Amino acid sequence: MSTYDVAVIGSGPGGYVAAIRCAQLGLKTAIIEKYATMGGTCLNVGCIPSKALLDSSHHYEDAIKHFEEHGIEIPGEVKINLEKMMSRKASVVDQTTKGIEFLMSKNDIDTYQGVGSFKDKTHINIAVADGDDITIEAKNIIIATGSKPASLPFIDIDKERVITSTEALKLKEIPKHMIVIGGGVIGLELGQVYKRLGSEVGVVEYMDRIIPTMDAAQSKELTKVMKKQGIKFFVSHKVNGVTRNDDEVVVTATDKKDNEVEFKGDYVLVSVGRKAYTDGLNLDAAGVHTDERGRVAVNDHLQTNVANIYAIGDVVKGAMLAHKAEEEGVFVAETIAGQKPHIDYNLIPGVVYTWPEVASVGKTEEQLKESGVEYKSGQFPMRALGRSRASGDIDGFVKILADKKTDEVLGVHMVGARVADLIAEGVIAMEFRASAEDIARMSHAHPTYAEAVKEAALAATEDRALHV
């Protein structure tokens, strides 16, 4: 029987990063993955393939709508080869997952393909598809089994016409009319992909606005822009049923006035969030507890009620984000090695990869009001930037919220081109407890989108933005 200092169950962003950091710290490490490829949801059926399709569909939209204004003329009709687009996406996924395999080998991490389950708190059984089961022993175990798409109890996901994000990433045809249930990150991103490719898209959202956990100004701006792109929104609608009749799917809902309404399409994408995945782990054998939502219960050190067993990522409480899982993977590895790491969950950024992109870190304006914090706000429109006019990406803004007395930055909220990358500036500023004036006094290259951050900081400091 092989014995390890650490065994990681699950090879998603949290799991594989935890394994690498453990190995870097000199711990003998194993990782267990049930699927044939490593990388978990993010690399296989989440972050990576969705961004590949977002980029491909963006290129197509630019070709049919925007190239001409740049003086680029394409003879003949621009056509979509969906099969080739999906093939490119698969190639990106393949390259990325193979990269994880390389990293495991490079760091001398033993990999096992099979379903890992607890025999007790230090032994894991690995059910191998074509062969005898394997048992390994580990002093410490990290659960990193991630999440699966959630649904509503009355919806039958048939994976053909009533689908989740997993199926939406590999459709063989472009829907005529896609109904998206849920106005969060996943629904908006995939809804935009298929709208660009020619689908009629309607988004049905239970709350009174899309991306309801983000700053209300971001929701308002993204709604305005996506409506211009042709996507329809039905907020404050409670879905009551989904029925399929051959190639037609009907969604029934109740609006805010209690009127019954129907939405008809040929595909329904159910994107109402995700749920922790612990199936097959046999947690009871190790004595590991879960909470009321089926997540593995952990303390502030990401330690379960069993001292040598930890859990990270989507399988525990908190935002279901790949980079949050990575931070937790490093945190646990360093904790096991006797170090004193830290994570500030307030500084984990959130991003929506639509176009324009949406990104946030820290407190929203609504949260500051609710908690009674006195704050000031500085906002700068992207359309006032030379760089935005040059690229044609004039939608959006940067908003900085700062403490009214100390000027410390409390939140940064952006909508615009490349703000998924730009939000790192806000994270760094807040990590070092910068003031809005600190940011305002820093030189930002011209012309760049990043100038909007400086201008928003100027606006928050003394209402002295230079270019509005």
Which residues are catalytic, by number? 446
Residue 254, marked binder: no
Q: Report the C-alpha gap between 347 and 426 in whole angstroms.
A: 9
Closest C-alpha among 276, 13, 285 to residue 124:
285
Say if residues 336 and 395 touch (Cβ distance below 8 Å): no
Residue 455, marked binder: no
Say if residues 394 and 368 touch (Cβ distance below 8 Å): no
Residue 183, marked binder: yes
Residue 172, marked binder: no
Say if residues 127 and 115 touch (Cβ distance below 8 Å): yes
Residue 186, marked binder: yes
Residue 185, marked binder: yes
Say if residues 178 and 204 touch (Cβ distance below 8 Å): no
CA separation, residue 150 to residues 65, 250, 354, 441 (Å): 35, 20, 21, 46
Residue 187, marked binder: yes
Bridge partners of residue 169, in order along the sequence: none
Residue 57, marked binder: no
Residue 323, marked binder: yes
Residue 273, marked binder: yes
Residue 445, marked binder: no
Residue 426, marked binder: no
Residue 443, marked binder: no
Based on its alpha-carbon atoms, the radius of gyration of the chain, rounded to whole angstroms, reads 24
Residue 287, marked binder: no
Residue 314, marked binder: yes
Q: Report the C-alpha gap between 456 and 401 in whole angstroms.
A: 9
**DSSP symbol at 253:** E
Residue 269, marked binder: no
Q: Report the C-alpha gap between 184 and 250 in whole angstroms.
A: 21
Residue 414, marked binder: no
Say if residues 61 and 196 touch (Cβ distance below 8 Å): yes
Say if residues 376 and 460 touch (Cβ distance below 8 Å): yes
Q: How big is the CA angle at 135 (ends 129 and 139), to the nearest 5 degrees?
A: 135
Three-class DSSP labels, 153-202: CCCCCCCCCEECHHHHCCCCCCCCEEEEECCCHHHHHHHHHHHHCCCEEE
Which residues are documented as binding site for FAD? Answer: 51, 116, 145-147, 314, 320-323
Which residues are documented as binding site for NAD(+)? Answer: 182-189, 205, 273
Which residues are documented as binding site? Answer: 51, 116, 145-147, 182-189, 205, 273, 314, 320-323
